[in-house]
């Protein structure tokens, strides 16, 4: 089954810029748009980024997404304590499945 890989954890201090990577394959990230979700403790996931780099209305501008080849990144500029959460990338795979990344736990020090 298709695997999309993220680092299990990332951390930073308030105000810092933090980047989370997401590595897939030609059948998912390489050929389909990437999505990013934020899951706060005890809450349902929330859409942060769609179409690789688009923010839905209401999502803070400090979140930004990018994609290159079979990899993608989520950047959080001006890290805040409320950004402490799990982050997942995801993409449609050409084998007709929706694949989530392994997830990254962000800690604000």
Partner 1 sequence: QLQLQQSGPGLVRPSESETLSLTCSVSGGSVSRSSYFWGWIRKPPGKGLEWIASIYDVGKVYHNPSLKTRVSISVDTSKNQFSLNLRSVTAADTAVYYCARHAGYSRDPHVFDIWGQGTMVTVPS
* Spatial separation of the C-alpha atoms in residues 75 and 62, rounded to whole Å: 8
Give min distance, CB of 76 to partner 1, in A: 19
Q: Which pairing describes strands 104-108 and 9-12: parallel, antiparallel, or unpaired?
A: parallel
Q: Which of 46, 62, 63, 77 binds partner 1 (CB under 8 A)?
A: 46
Residue closer to partner 1, measured from CB, 13 or 51: 51
* Spatial separation of the C-alpha atoms in residues 46 and 40, rounded to whole Å: 8
CB 88, CB 5: distance < 8 Å? no
- Compose the 57-96 pattern: x for residues touching partner 1 by CB under 8 A, - for all others: -----------------------------x-x-x-x---x
CB 37, CB 46: distance < 8 Å? yes
Residue 32 DSSP label: S
Residue closer to partner 1, measured from CB, 14 or 60: 60
Binding stretches for partner 1 (CB under 8 A): 1, 32-33, 35, 37, 39, 44-47, 50-51, 54, 56, 86, 88, 90, 92, 96-103
């Amino acid at each position: 089954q298709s695997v999309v890989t993220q680092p299990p954890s990332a951390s930073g201090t308030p105000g810092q810029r933090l980047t989370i990577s997401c590595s897939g394959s030609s059948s998912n990230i390489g050929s389909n748009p990437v999505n990013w979700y934020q899951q706060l403790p005890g809450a349902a996931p929330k859409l942060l980024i769609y179409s690789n780099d688009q923010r839905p209305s209401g999502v803070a501008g400090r979140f930004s997404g990018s994609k290159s080849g079979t990899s993608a990144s989520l950047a959080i500029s001006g890290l805040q304590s409320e950004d402490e959460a799990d982050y997942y990338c995801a993409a449609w795979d050409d084998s007709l499945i929706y694949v989530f990344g392994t997830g990254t736990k962000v800690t604000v020090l």
